[in-house]
Structure 1
Amino acid sequence: MSRDNEASPQTTSQAYIALGSNMGDREQMLRQALLALQEHASINVLRVSKVYETDPVGYTDQSAFLNMAALLETTLAPMPLLRAMLQIEQQLGRKREVRFGPRTIDLDVLLYEDVRSDEEELILPHPRMMERAFVLVPLHDVLQPGHSLQQQVGQAANRALQDGGEGIALWNTINWQDASAPSES
């Protein structure tokens, strides 16, 4: 692997990502995406959230989603991490035909350390994460204790759930072999 794809040879960074699926065996798609991330030489899945079933947002004429979040450790810089995630989406059959439409898998970088980015391809922190219960609730599950956004994400997740929660309900848990237990709310 070339050094252009790494943050630096010794440096690891933490990134929080969102995963979602509403086509086919949704839970299996989430598992396959986690495994593909873990199998990447420069990515380690540290922690995974519970899995939540959520109503679609935006384009609503589609099946419900399963959503979750994960904490990754990576030597990839933000853009190469995004590209690796897009490649995994493609391997798992993702087709981009309808904006906010049905998808086998959707992987989004939510946070990457304290990096702020306003690139066309990657905005960090994710620009709509604080508006969406389907992102906030699983993200709150995996945020490291003491993370600078822990209180803000927790409050926003609780508000979103009190306001109807965008049809979010606990679906299941995925026992991740390398993961520590999700943080308790």
Structure 2
Amino acid sequence: MINSVEQNSNLGYSRCYVAIGSNLADPVTQAQEAIVALQTLTMSRLVSVSSLYASKPMGPQEQPDYINAVACIDTRLAPIELLDALQHIENEQGRVRKEHWGARTLDLDILLYGDDIMSTPRLTVPHYGMKEREFVLYPLAEITPQLQLPCGQALSVLLEACPRNDLAIYQNIE
């Protein structure tokens, strides 16, 4: 497997990781439909997807548990173009932004975009909270256990410091 932070420059693709989360409107179906939508992204190809994981909500606790996964894609889309495409998928699946960390039909977050480090008003890469979130780190490690973040930190070191918090595999993706 190509190291996730390497770019396949001869083909113009960047290796990216996208977090998938849902806790409304049949979350398993929402996640599966998001994966299908990722397969159809323009100028992109889906490389791999983790299992689906069940996790407790990070924000307000009076909401349903989440289904989470991480997808690996190679894309020629620029970071903001990829963000726009992911937000389009969210909107197509009924995403309504009401409250921060609130319940949602679908949440798609760019975790890593090649070895880029960027912070704009719309997008921060690597994702600002990924280093502490078990529902991101464990699925990410499932599909790329040797990952080194752009800052040089090993995913394995982050996992050692991140409790599972009842995170469990809900369903393997076949």
TM-score, with structure 1 as normaliser = 0.83
Contact 1:53/1:171 (8 A) holds in 2: yes
1:156: which partner in 2? 158
Correspondence for 1:3: none
- Equivalent residues in 2 for 1:133-172, closer than 5 Å: 133-143=134-144, 145=146, 147-149=147-149, 152-161=154-163, 165-172=164-171
Task: Find the residue that maps to 1:24 and give its secondary structure.
Answer: coil
Counterparts of 1:120-131 in structure 2, within 5 Å, are 120-131=121-132
Aligned-residue Cα RMSD (Å) equals 1.9
Alpha-carbon contact 1:21-1:30 (below 8 Å) kept: yes
Is the Cα–Cα contact under 8 Å of residues 50 and 138 in structure 1 kept in the other structure?
yes
Q: Secondary structure at the match of 2:72?
A: strand
**Residue 63 of structure 2 is aligned to residue 62 of structure 1:** yes
Taking structure 2 as the reference length, the TM-score comes to: 0.87
Shift of 1:142: 1.7
8 Å contact 1:58–1:100 — kept in the other structure?
yes
Which one is further off, 79-88 or 39-48? 39-48
Task: Mark the runs of 5 or more structure 1 residues left unpaired by the alignment.
Answer: 1-7, 176-185
Alpha-carbon distance between aligned partners in 1 of 2:44 and 2:106, rounded to the nearest angstrom: 18
- The structure 1 segments of at least 4 consecutive aligned residues displaced by more than 4 Å after TM superposition are none
Q: Distance in 2 between matches of 1:58 and 1:144?
A: 27
Call closer, same or farther: CA 1:141–1:65 in 2, change over 3 Å: same
1:132 maps to a residue whose letter is R
Taking a change above 3 Å as real, the CA distance of residues 151 and 50 of structure 1, as seen in their structure-2 partners, is farther
User: Which of the two has greater helix per residue?
Assistant: 1
Kindly state the Cα deviation for residue 166 of structure 1 after the two structures are TM-superposed: 2.6
Q: Taking every aligned residue pair, what percent have the same amino acid on both sides?
A: 35
Give the corresponding residue for 1:113: 114
Contact 1:136 1:154 in 2 (8 A): no
- What are the within-5 Å matches in structure 2 for residues 4-23 of structure 1? 10-23=11-24
Displacement of 1:71: 0.5
For residues 30 and 172 of structure 2, what CA distance do their matches in structure 1 show?
A: 14
Deviations 1:66-109 (A, max 9, x none): 10101001110111001100000000000001111111110000
Rounded Cα–Cα distance in structure 2 between residues aligned with 1:160 and 1:144: 15
Q: Is the 8 A contact 2:145 2:156 kept in 1?
A: no
Cα deviations across residues 19-47 of structure 1 (Å, max 9, x unaligned)? 00101211111110011111122221101
SS of the residue aligned with 2:154? helix
Q: How many pairs does the alignment contain?
A: 164
Match of 2:5 in 1: none
Map Cα deviations across residues 109-154 of structure 1 (whole Å, 9 max, x no partner). Answer: 0000110101011001111100111111111112274x32397222
What SS class does the counterpart of residue 165 from structure 2 fall into? helix
* Inter-partner Cα distance in structure 2 for 1:142 and 1:52: 13
